[in-house]
Structure formats: C-alpha cells, structure tokens
A and B are shown apart, each in its own frame.
Chain A
Amino acid sequence: MNIFDDQNMIISPSEGISLPLYKRTLWVLCALVILLSLSFVYSLKLGSVSVSWADVYAVMGFDVELNDATSTIYELRLPRIMGAIAAGALMALSGYLLQTAARNALADPGVLGLSDGAALSVIVLYVVFSQVSLTASILASFFGVFVTALLVLWFVHKNLSGTFIVLVGIAVGAVVSAFSDILLSSVTIEDMAFLMAFLSGSFLSLDLTSASFLSIWMTVIIAVFLLLSRYINPLNFGYQHAMSLGVDAKKYYIFIIILAVFAMAPVIALVGSIGFIGLIATFLAKNIIGYRGTELGIVSMLLGAIMTLWADTLGRTLFAPVMINAGVFIALIGALFFIIMTRYIVKQ
C-alpha cells in the first residue's frame, strides 16, 4: 500500500476499527507525537532543582543507580509528567465524546456538570468516613459522574443533542456545585482545606503508582474508543444519518457518554477538576484537521496531553518555588487562547 498514491487512505488495523487517515492528518499526528515526545523529555529536565541532560537520559534509559538528581526526576517529576499527559488525553477525549453525543461544541465534562458530580461524591465520602483511600475516592468519583450523567440524560432523553443538553448540564452542574459548597461549609477548616486541595486540579500529590494507573487507564480507554470508532463516526452526521447508516444511534449515544464518564472519572478522583481541556483541545483539533471523526478524537487527545503537560510544567517552574496548579494555569492561559481563537475564526 503506497500512502502517497492517493489523498485518502483508510487504515483498518482490524475489522472493527475505522480510522481513515488523510495525508494532512497523518502529518499533524506525526508532528504532535514528536512535539509530545520532545515536551516529555524537556519537562523531565525542567524544575526548581537543576539536573543535567545526562541525568534525564539516565532515567529514560532505566539503567541508572539513583542519585539525588536522578531520584528527583524519577520520583518527583516523572509521575506528574506521566499523570499530566494521561489526564490531558483523557479529559480531551471525554470532551470530544460529549461533543459528539451532544452535537454541540460547548459540551465538556465541566460544562455538563460531570466534574461537579464527581467532586460532590468525593466530598460526601470524606464527610461521612473521614479517611478516604485512593480506591474509594476513584470509585466515588465514578459513582458521582455516573449519577450526574444519568440525571442529565434523564432530563434530555427525548432531545439528546444540541443546545438543550448543554443548558441542562449547566443547570445540573450549578445545583451539584451548590450542594458541594453546603457540605464544605459544614466541615472543619482543616477538612475543607484538604478537600479544596484534593479537588484543585493539581498533579503535586501524584506518585508513580497513581500515574501508572492513569497511563494504563488511558491505554484501555483509547482501545475501547478505537473499537467503537465505526459506530462513533456516523454519529457525527447526526441522529437520522447515523440510523440510515445502520447504527443504533440512541444506544451508541449512551455508550459514548458512558465512555466519556469512564475517561474522566479517575482523573477527577486523582487530580481534581481540570476545566477547559475538553473544549480547547477539540476546538483546536477541528481547526487543524477539520471534522474527521476518529482522527479528531486522536488529535484532540494529543493536543490535550501536550497542553496539560505544559500547564503543569510551567506551573511548577515559571515562578518556582511558588507553585501554580495546572488547573489554574489552563483556566488562565487556555481560556484566553480560546477567546482569541474564537475571535479569529469569527473574523475569518
């Protein structure tokens, strides 16, 4: 197969996966993978403690006796870099899936109240039990996101797409967020500070175990996404078109919302709420490669990973030793960038 024969190329790694790759998308994917790889390596070098490139290469080679520099990279930087990449990719994919289901570019885990639902569950768990294990917080996050998603779906099940789902999501999110605020006001100052830090969108507390979990989870979610790709792509054309192509649209709309929930829940549990990634990454991806179905999802994930990685890296290095959470950085820089891009597109 000669990929330069034709503008279009269909790659079918297996029967069930639809991954049409246009030349432009291929180049974009290569560029983003290279950019992500370079960002990964460079982020290992950056920090408030100076390390050499030799130390970075030693850690990457896994052939190292840990000294001060290499243990700083391996134990302190590597977990949060891995975590940032995985979390950014998962949140971006979640945003892409929700936008496909809602047929609305504003759909995002934060906008639809799903992040607030996860946060409320974790807060309730902590208020009731005081000591919260990692597993329990992840399960609570899943539960919270599921219940919030079900609540949103229940309100919109007769009108599953468009502006309506976004408006309902905003309303549900506001109510859920209000309950969180009420609960937070009932705990002690110590517990409130702990919960606020817990939910603040920071990679500071990630260790290798939780970062590895997120990375493995990301791989599993990507695999499921690719397996569902032949059903997700038709949904981009709308309910009627998808049905005419033989896809049970209603069933798969719900499937992809569930997949979006599975993508984001562990991120909220381990890192807290990182808003805007789903919106910005997908928006940028659309403007780079157009509306391309599965490719859009993949490109969004790569962009989300790069953005989150740099948000965390800049947050921990720009004003060191003062640390700024990745969530705050993304909100500041990402939102500003989003506004500028939107105005640019409108002008075009």
Chain B
Amino acid sequence: MKLITFVQGALLLSLSLQSVANETMMITDHAGNKVEILTQPKRIASLHVMSTTSILLDVDAPIVGTSTYIKLPENRPYIRGGEEVFGIKFADTGYFNYGNKGSDIEQIKASKPDLIIGTVKYQKKLFDKLSKIAPTVLIQRYTPNIFDAYRDVAIWVGKKDLFEQNYGQYQQKITRFKDKYADELSGKTFIYAVPSKGQAEIKIRQNSGIITQVLFDLGLTRPQFLKDTFAPEDAGAEVSSELIESLDADWFFSTYTSQLGVGSESIDAGFDDVAPGWQFALTAYQNNQFIRLNREQAYTPTFVSADYVLNALEQQILKNRK
C-alpha cells in the first residue's frame, strides 16, 4: 500500500514538474509579434553576439547556439564581447555556430532550439522562416533605456529575478558613484565619438549600448551641439571632422576595437588621421577627461560592461584628483 502511494506520489510530482517545464506564456516582442514561448526555455538560440548572447551569458541562460564573429588573425569563430567580458572562448562552449548574424539557418534548425532570440535589425525579414523552427522573438537593439531590452530578454528566458537583483545593485552603484564624484559629474556634459578613419568623418554615438546608458544614468548630459543636431532618441550619425571643435564636452569617450588586434593608441591615431590638431580643440583632452575604452568590453548590454565603464571613469577621476 505504501509502495503504491509512493509510486502515485512520484508520478504526480514528475507530471507537475513536466507541466511547469512546459508552461508557456504569451509575449509581444519588440517587432510587435505576439509569440507563445516556454516560461523556462532550455535550449536558446542566440542570433546576435553582442546584443543577445552577451545578455544570455550575463544571466547564465541555457544557450544552445550563437552567431559568431571571426577572430583575426587566428581565423577562428569567437563570441565577440563574450570572450572579452566573460572570458568565454567559443571553442570551449560546445555551442552550435550560426555564422555571421545568425544566417546559417540550417545550423539553427539542427540545434533544435526551444526559443530563438534575434534582433529586429537583422532578423526581421527571416522571422517567418525562423518561427517554423522554434518560437522566435526579436529585440530592438537601441532602446531609450538599454536595460528595458535586457529586462525583456531576462523575462523571456525565465531569469527575471536575477535581472532585478543585478539591476538593483547597479542602481545602488550609480547612486554611490554620483555622490562620491559629484564635483566631476554634476552638471557636466559628455560625448561618445569614434573617428571614421580615411573618411574625414567622426561617428557620434549618442545612444550606443551600455556606455551611453551608464553615463546618462550618472546624470551626464549631451553638449549643446548634440542637442541642436540630434533628437534625444537618435542613435547618432557621422559628422564632418571639420566640426571637431563643436564636439567639445566636459568628458569625451571613445572606443577601439580590440577584435582587430589594436590598442587604445589607435583612437589617437584615428583622430590624428581625420582631424589633425584635435587635441587642441577638445577641452576634455586638455583636462585629462578623454577616456579610451575597449569596445568589446564596454559595449555589451551587461552589468559586467557597466562595471567596466564605471571603473574606467573612476580611475580617470582619481588620477585627476592626485
């Protein structure tokens, strides 16, 4: 009798666990698609390395495959951002390789995902095709607050609690940082721009991932030139390098692409190329408030990258205070 009761109990428990695992929810993705997805997906296909894979790594979501970049000069697939931020080498992961921007749909299908996460930018045209493989959701890479997109992804992969915990800690860090360095930050402006080498242009990145998110959260604002030229929600654009003097702000941020094997000196070389004499045009440079960041470490929409940006800013502030 006891044995029968035990077996019945075990059966009931396994059925209920299975039903929890198979529970679904209806969500609306950033492209407006209404999609029914599992509340706890177990095999997630990620179709954009720096926008989606990095978030999934940050919340330790079960990834089954990812798009990849090619790391030069070794010519091997790599998780851009993931390798620099989390130290994860693609070859060690066992993930399926979906190629550049998730274009190898055969590999996506072969990986048998139960959720596909792509971006509106690159996968909108493939949405119907991908939906036949598994429930597919698309995120908007550039949202006014990048953590809104992050929160949505966390919900879709069943990691909302972890996200809220991390986000709470992030907000506390921001508050402490603002209080501690009020003299350097309060009422100050910033600009994030990179030189377009060989084109006499400077690319203004007004809303660009975690870098600008952190800086806006710290209370830094846009300089007048950006307010006059771009709407607040614009991502930015290329401007002529002749406008270098107009790009002046209290803090100037720029990034280099370590994927190409270059270092921070490439930023100065780039500005020398497009705007000779730029050092004299920028107050931020003269005041030692010109910060060079590794793009792969700074760009991912993760709390780890947010810490990297805060640390870089803090180091420069402390250096200036000495």
Query: A residues near B, CB below 8 A?
Result: 47-49, 68, 71-72, 75-77, 188-190, 193-194, 197-198, 204-205, 207, 316, 320-323
Contacts and interface: CB of A to CB of B under 8 A. Distances in A.
Contacts, number: 66
Contacts of B97: 321
Contacts of A188: 142, 235
B161 interface: no
Contacts of B110: 49, 68, 72
B270 interface: no
Nearest to A194: B124
Contacts of A189: 121, 142, 235
B128 interface: yes
Contact of A323 (B68, B100, B125): B100
Interface in B54-94: 68, 70
Contacts of B176: none
B259 interface: no
Interface stretch (B101-109, B216-224, B300-308): B101-109
A321 B107 contact: yes
A68 B98 CA distance: 17
B100 A205 contact: no
Contacts of A320: 99, 104
Nearest to B120: A190
B266 to A, nearest CB: 23
Question: What DSSP secondary structure best describes chain A's contact surface?
Answer: helix
A49 B106 contact: yes
A190 B105 contact: no
B129 A205 contact: yes
A323 B105 CA distance: 10
Nearest to A325: B103
Given A207-B129, A322-B70, A322-B99, A190 B140 contact: yes
B106 A323 contact: no
Per CB-CB distance, the 8 closest pairs between chain A and chain B, nearest first, are A321-B99, A321-B104, A323-B103, A49-B106, A193-B121, A205-B125, A190-B121, A49-B110
B121 A76 contact: no
B126 interface: yes
Contacts of B107: 48-49, 321
A75 B130 CA distance: 11
Interface of B: 68, 70, 97-100, 103-107, 109-110, 120-122, 124-126, 128-129, 132, 140-142, 235
A116 to B, nearest CB: 20
Contact of A321 (B98, B140, B235): B98
Pick the most buried of B106, B120, B235: most chain A CB atoms within 10 A of its CB. B106
B124 A72 contact: no
A190 B142 contact: yes
A30 B140 CA distance: 51
B277 to A, nearest CB: 28
A72 B106 contact: yes
A197 B100 contact: no
Pick the most buried of B68, B104, B110, B122: most chain A CB atoms within 10 A of its CB. B104
B33 to A, nearest CB: 12
A346 B2 CA distance: 95
B239 to A, nearest CB: 13
Contacts of A193: 121-122
Contacts of B140: 190
Contacts of A322: 70, 99-100
Contacts of B132: 75
A30 B120 CA distance: 46
Contacts of A72: 106, 109-110
Given A198-B125, A323-B100, 9 more contacts: A72-B109, A72-B110, A76-B109, A188-B235, A190-B141, A193-B122, A205-B129, A322-B100, A323-B99
Nearest to B97: A321
Given A72-B109, A189-B235, A194-B125, A323 B141 contact: no
A135 to B, nearest CB: 15
Nearest to A79: B129
B229 to A, nearest CB: 14
A81 B165 CA distance: 49
